[in-house]
Each structure stands twice: as structure tokens, then as C-alpha cells.
Structure 1
Amino acid sequence: MKEAERKGKAVVVGGSIAGLSCAHALIAAGWGVVVLEKTSCPATGCATGAGLGLDPLAQKVIKSWLDEPHALDLTTLPLTIDQNEATDGEKKINWMLTRDESFNFRAALWSDLYGLLYKALPPETVRWGQTFLSFCVSDDGNCVRVKAKASQSGEIVEVAGDLLVAADGCLSSIRQSFFPEHKLRYSGYCAWRGVLDFSENEDSDTVLALKKAFPDLGKCLYFDLGSRTHSVFYELLNKRINWIWYVNQPEPQLTGNSVTMKVSSDMIAKMHEAAEEVWLPELVKVIQETKDPFLNVIYDCEPLGQIVWQNVVLVGDAAHPTTPHGLRSTNMSVLDAAVLGKCLEKWGVENRTSALQEYQSTRLPVTTEQVLFSRRLGRIKQGLRLPDRQPLDPIAASREDCEELQQKKMPFLSDTPSILSHIKQLQKLICYSSISKTLDLKHLYVIVVLVWV
């Protein structure tokens, strides 16, 4: 078989949303894919993922990977409004600072999106219970070999491929092998998080009061800014409220390979008491009635100057750990995967070096700016100092202050990479999919030609 005709093989380390997205994008590009994931089975309701927001481009990309694109809309809720509010904790009142009614995101539960992506992959794509150990590149640079340990048997397995994709998260051990001195940067605050399930009690006093105080719940991403703190909350599908509360504090000591802390009942009780001093009673009740809240330590890192080496590439949080204030982590992971797949498809296996260089030159300028903007946005909303401005007091916020709070200020938010320009045409084809069921192949062919022309 000629090199140009050979099918490439990628080994993806990490089976979270970034890894599954890469699997979809590379399979669509004609590559064989093996995903190595350390957990023993697919996630079914992982609390640490909680809620997330998908931007318009990420929605289109994900739909292009699904046999039934409408399934994404069926498992998410629209977020058409981005609203920032100031809260006076002493007087228990709040008021609007900014409102953007053209937001066009969609809200998803992490496990719902994960399940959608996983079920749409070919069987056996993901190998469960495989803990990454090491990798090595052949002397000629044409092959990469990955070693992993099977959790059940303890057996050491080796998988070879043309490309290693590091999708192993913000604590990436593969990134560490290239940047041993590069450390995560603590933001100065942690995030209490939780999801209140009110599906069995839709008319409870807590839910009715919250909807009265925040009438656009169900389509609005609410940011409430207090004194040196802020919270985020929005509704998810199936009668659930996702909330996040950011708290300034010294950096906690983490154990294990996770940024999620184990919390005690005492810690939760103190958090509940503190919430009463800061937020409106309607939001406090939601926080207090949420089962099993958890605590994330918020990190990012200084943007990297390189994310590809020979036949190794970083994607998602492995490439650009970010704070969550711009809703970028999942969206950047999806776009990383899509751009990587299209670059590999364009250049072919024999020219993967050129493909990876195009991936890097396309994504690095964007992700660098978005990481830094998210960092700045978080510090502003938390009332922390920045070199060029005093800490924000939301109660006395100026018009200029309010302008800085909006998600639409995110760099490159509305930009579509040129290599993904096909996504727009593909969406037109998706719109015609239901029509095609009633047309013969001759008529369908005419529609396809017209759309792509």
C-alpha cells in the first residue's frame, strides 16, 4: 500500500469530553482511533462535571459528528441571555448591570453531553481501565508507542500509532514530560458547585421563589456579583439548577490527581452559613437544598508556546488549562478536536508534521487570548486586583466596569477557523436530512450539489 493511501492511527490518552471529541474528529478524517481511559466504565452521572455551556460553533461541530444531530438540542436547554447582576448582601437586594439577549449558547449537564458523544462512537473505540504510563517515539519519528496499565489485571499493554493525542486534562502527565517546570497557576479562589434536582418537586417554595426572583431562568445565564465574590446559575434539562459560587481563599493542599477537593459535612455547613451573609434568600435555599455539593480548586497556567512535537499533540485542558469564567474549557476542547481532524484530513498521514503545525498555528493564538481573558474576567468578578485597575465594587460599578463583565467580549468568540468553514454548509445538509427521507436519490443528489455550490 502506498503511504498516501495508508490509514493513519491515533492513540488518544484521556477519555473525557476532549478525548471523545478527538476520536470523533479523527474518525471523520479517516483515521483509526484508540482511546485509553483510566476509569473502568463510561460516566453515567459524574457530579464533578456539573453543568457547562456550548457556544454556537461548538454546537455545530458536535452536531456534525452525530448521526442524529437534533439529539444535541434534545439534551440541552437554550441560553439566549447573558445577565450580570449586583447583589447587596446586607440589604438582600440585587439589580441588573448588563444584559445580552443574543447569547445563543446551550446549557448541558456534563454527563449528558459525555453520553451523547460516547454512544455515537464505534464500539471498542474506548479501552476502559487503562492508566497511561509512558510513551516513546521511534528513532525515525514515524511511530509512537504508548504504555498503559490495565487496572483489573495489572498487565502492561503497549499500543502503537502514527500520532499520540494528549487529552489527559489540566494535570496532563504528557504535557509535564515536555514542560517539567511548567506549573498550574492558582487563581486565588475555589468554586463550590452543585446541581439541584427539582424534578420531583417542581412546585416547591424554593423553586417558585427562585423563578420569581429570576424570571428568565430556563433561558438565562445569571451572574450575581457580591463583595469580592460572584456566583453563576442556570437551568439544565430535566428540571435541574446548576450553580457555582466562587470563594477567595488561600490555595488548598490537593491530594491525588484531581482539582476536586473532598469536602466534609462541617465544610458544607459553614458554606451554607456563609451563603446567607452574601446572597439573596432565594439563591441561598437552592444552595442549601443541593445534595452533595463539591469544591473545585480553580487553576489555569501561563499559555504555552508549543503544543505539538513530531507526532505528539496536546488538546483541551492539557494544552490550555483555563479558569471557567468565559465558558471556554469544553468549547476550546471541541474546537481543538475539530481543527486537528480537519488538518490531518487535509495533509494526510505522510504529511502529519505539516498538519500539526497548521493545528498549532490555528489554535495557539486563539486559546492564548481566551485563557488570559478568562483569567482577567475572573479576577474582575472576584474583586481581585489587576495591574491596570482597582478591584471591582459591583454596588458602585461604572458603565465601563459593566462593559468588561460581558461574555461577548471574549476574543475570537464569533470567529470560525477557515479550515472549519465546511461546518456551515454541513449544517444546511443537516437541515435537509428530514426532507431526504421522502425523496429519491436523484432528487437528494441535486440538493447536495446545490448546497455545496
Structure 2
Amino acid sequence: MNVRKWEMSREEGKKRRGKAVVVGGSISGLCTAHALLSAGWQVVVLEKTTSPPTGSPTGAGLGLDPLSVTILGSWLPQPQLHLFTLPLTIDQNHATDSEKKTSRVLTRDMNFNFRAAYWSDLHSLLYNALPPDILFWGHLFQSFCLIDDKKSVKVQSKVLQTGKMVEVVGDLLVAADGCLSSIRKTFLPDLKLRYSGYCAWRGVLDLSHDENSEIYVALQKVYDDMGKSLYFDLASGTHSVFYELLNKRINWIWYVNQPEPQLKGTSVTMKVSNDMIKKMQEEAEQVWVPELVRAIKATKEPFLNVIYDCDPLEQIVWDHVILVGDAAHPTTPHGLRSTNMSILDAAVLGQCLAKYGVENLSKGLKEYESIRVPTTSRQVLHSRRLGRIKQGLVLPDRNIFDPKTGTPKECRELQQKYMPAFNDIPSCLSAIAKREYYSNL
């Protein structure tokens, strides 16, 4: 056998590496890249923004569940994740009396075991842990088509800096392009997102440069477990979320019932004027305790998210194209599921592809779909229900919730631990969970 034939024979004996094109370089896309690299795949990530984010104007805070922390720990250098997050060991719901400006505890779960992360911190950790030259910034997705008898996918993007059109061919196209996914629209052109009935004012108050902050001291008196507790304050027809991030940064969210705003562009984040911010601050004074109001008023550049979800999808795989993250399951934020579902999507996908290889790609994708769709469907609907309860909106099977008069039975459903599959670990991830558990002993 000559040298060339021997090299060809040896190459044929190797297992062919798959190549995936991931559209979207947010946390969902980066997690998918990590999971597929761990599965032995080649990965290209196309992201429309022109450079890595230096802040988090629309991302703010995240709550990571124990399984997500374990999965992230398998991708990131130790102990980076714990250095950039704070524990959330308590899940607490308060009833706020807007007239008297007082609060009382409705529920308190002291075995919560989440961690609080700043969006841009987590994104930076994931990005910096990837090999160089995987993520292509400033590449705006244009279109895709299946080629080679639907065995490959050709993806076209536009380089925003030059206007040049670029084509990438891979075995798999992963849509990690968010709740308004353009790739999903190709398969489900009539799918409409469902407006929840409310919007969310959000912000992060950065007190890291003020060691003796009066605002921080005042907040600690009202929220005495600040730094380890996830607080929900419920008033009549509204509720807020409050927790501390690393370096004395205060993450807050306030949900306000209102008619659906008219959005422009492809973002669910609205542009807000100074007049809108001033009005929001004045209305906050009428609802919340003074310490929280002071934090809200001191926050620079608060922003407004319009809250959507959609009825669960029955299908998230089409030939060699799949949906992950918010593209697969747009959800309201009340169950802290969006980021956690995205991380779990990526991890399950990686395990399924590693199990079947590129030669049996369709089997791996179908297994991914069969594992994720039933769980995410239940979680999306539960999060929707939880939001309507806390916002005092109508549900067909229970009275409108009033935090002032809520019974223990009514309040029970407010707790995060009653999210479906809250502590479940898919069997395909049990080895990862076990390995990380013993490595941390």
C-alpha cells in the first residue's frame, strides 16, 4: 500500500467530526458551542453584534439553578463561576401594604440553592473559555438552505462592517437567535408570541464604588437576608423581584399590568424616555416601601421589557435544523427558567450528538427533541401561571390572588420549588452531575 492510500484508509477509519453552525452569540449560543465542542464537534458561531458586550443594558441579573451550575462548571475553569456569582439560598415572598408601606412574609424556602449572576459576567466567562476564532462578531444571519439531499446545511450571513456575504456549510444549523427567532419563522411562519398582559421595568443599581452607601445600609434593614435571598414583593395587581449580585450590585424588576405596547424592530426591550422613567419612579413611590423606591430612583438607565411567551411548540427539529433556548421555548421570567432551560438544552444536545455521532445525526436530534419538549412545555405553562397569579390576573381555576388576604394554600404556589421538573436531572446528564459532585467534595 502506498503512503497516500494508507493515509486515506486511516482517515476513513476515524470517526468523522460533525460541524455545527450556531446562529446567535448570546448565552444560549455560547452554551451550545461549549456543549458541542465537548461532544467532539467543530463549531462556528455567528453573532450580529459587532463586539463582545462590555455591559448588560438589557440582560441584568440571572438566577442559576444547581444543575445549571454543575453543567457550567464542566465547561468553565474552576472555580470561576463561584467567584463571579453569589448564593441564593432563600426564596422569599412578601406581601406589601402600599398604604402603610410595610411588608410581611408570605412564604420562605430556606433550601433554594440557586446562584445569582450578572448577565455580562456569565457571558464573558463563557466567551473567554471558548477557543479563539470560533465566534464571528458582526455577522448578520441572512438565510439557509439544505443541500446534498438534506444532509448538509448552507448558511449565509452578511458581514456588517464590509457588507460582504459569507457562506458556511455544516452538518447542523442551531437556531439560538432568541424569542423572535427568524429561523423558527421559516418553519412556523404563523406563530405569534403571546403578550402576557404586563411589562417589566428592570435595572441594576451599582453600589460597588460606595463602601458606605446609605441606600445599601437601608436595604439591608428591610431585606435582612440580602446577599443570599431572592425576594418577591407582591402588592395589589403587581409584584417586584429583588436580589443582590456580586460587588454590591442590586438587581430589581417591577412588573406593571398595561396594554401591549407597539414594539419597533426585533427586540422586546423598549426605548424609554426620561418622562417615562420619571413617571415610573413616581408610581413606584405609591406602591413600594421607601427603601426599594430609593434604589429604583438611584438606578442609572432602567429599561423596559415587554413580556411575551408562546404556547409550547410540539416540534423543535426539522431535518438538520434545530431550535435551542428562547427560540425553542419563549417563556415569561417568573420561574427563572429562560437561562436555565438554555443551558440544559445545550447540555442535552451535546450528549445526544456524542451518543449517536454525525453518522446518526437524525437519531440524536430526535432524542434531544423527545427529552426537552415535554419538560420545557410544562415549565413554560407553569411560569405563565405563576406570573398571572403574582400580577393579580384572572385564571380559570382559582380566584384572583390578593397578597393581603392570601391563605397558606394559595401562597404555596408562589414558591419556585413547585416548578415542574424543578430538581430533575435527565439521565443523559447523570454522569456529568455525578462527576462534578465528587470533584467538589
Equivalent position of 1:138 in the other structure: 147
Equivalent position of 1:439 in the other structure: none
Separation in 1, partners of 2:116, 2:55: 16
Separation in 2, partners of 1:128, 1:236: 28
SS in 1 for 2:404: helix
Judge conservation of contact 2:71–2:433 (CA < 8 Å) in 1. no
Q: Does 1:64 align with 2:74?
A: yes
- Quick one: which of 369, 384, 409 aligns to 1:375? 384
Equivalent position of 1:447 in the other structure: none
Separation in 2, partners of 1:430, 1:4: 32
Equivalent position of 1:26 in the other structure: 36
Equivalent position of 1:441 in the other structure: none
Judge conservation of contact 2:95–2:403 (CA < 8 Å) in 1. yes
Q: Does 1:110 align with 2:115?
A: no
Matches within 5 A, 1:30-429: 30-66=40-76, 68-428=77-437
Describe the shift of the 1:345–1:265 C-alpha distance in structure 2 as closer, same or farther (beyond 3 A): same
Q: What's the offset of the Cα at 1:390?
A: 1.8
Q: What's the offset of the Cα at 1:88?
A: 0.5
SS in 1 for 2:95: strand
Cα deviation per residue 1:99-121 (whole Å; 9 max; x = unaligned)?
00000000000000000000000
- Aligned AA for 1:23? A
- Aligned AA for 2:365? L
Equivalent position of 1:449 in the other structure: none
Separation in 2, partners of 1:424, 1:247: 38
Q: What's the offset of the Cα at 1:4?
A: 6.7
Question: What's the TM-score, normalizing by structure 2?
Answer: 0.96
Separation in 1, partners of 2:433, 2:374: 23
Q: What's the offset of the Cα at 1:203?
A: 2.2
Question: What's the TM-score, normalizing by structure 1?
Answer: 0.94
Q: What's the offset of the Cα at 1:141?
A: 1.4
Judge conservation of contact 2:238–2:390 (CA < 8 Å) in 1. yes
Separation in 2, partners of 1:215, 1:113: 26
SS in 2 for 1:210: helix
Separation in 2, partners of 1:224, 1:364: 32
Q: What's the offset of the Cα at 1:139?
A: 4.8
SS in 2 for 1:98: strand
Judge conservation of contact 1:3–1:350 (CA < 8 Å) in 2. no
Worse-superposed segment, 82-91 or 4-13: 4-13
Q: What's the offset of the Cα at 1:429?
A: 5.7
Judge conservation of contact 2:324–2:346 (CA < 8 Å) in 1. yes
SS in 1 for 2:52: coil
Judge conservation of contact 1:69–1:430 (CA < 8 Å) in 2. no
Q: What's the offset of the Cα at 1:53?
A: 0.3
Separation in 1, partners of 2:215, 2:120: 25
Judge conservation of contact 1:194–1:242 (CA < 8 Å) in 2. yes
Judge conservation of contact 2:48–2:140 (CA < 8 Å) in 1. yes
- Quick one: which of 16, 21, 24 aligns to 1:11? 21
- Aligned AA for 2:327? A
Q: What's the offset of the Cα at 1:57?
A: 0.1
Separation in 2, partners of 1:216, 1:368: 33
Unaligned runs of at least 5 residues, structure 1: 433-453
Cα deviation per residue 1:218-256 (whole Å; 9 max; x = unaligned)?
000000000000000100001100000000000000001
SS in 2 for 1:118: helix
Judge conservation of contact 1:4–1:350 (CA < 8 Å) in 2. no
Judge conservation of contact 2:67–2:425 (CA < 8 Å) in 1. yes
Judge conservation of contact 1:51–1:109 (CA < 8 Å) in 2. yes
Describe the shift of the 1:120–1:315 C-alpha distance in structure 2 as closer, same or farther (beyond 3 A): same
Separation in 2, partners of 1:80, 1:330: 18
| Number of aligned residues | 431
Q: What's the offset of the Cα at 1:3?
A: 8.2
Q: What's the offset of the Cα at 1:400?
A: 1.2
Shift >2 Å, 4+ stretches: 1-4, 202-205, 428-432
SS in 1 for 2:250: strand
Unaligned runs of at least 5 residues, structure 2: 1-10
SS in 1 for 2:51: coil
- Aligned AA for 1:201? D
Cα deviation per residue 1:315-366 (whole Å; 9 max; x = unaligned)?
0000000000000000000000000000000000010100000000000000
SS in 1 for 2:280: helix
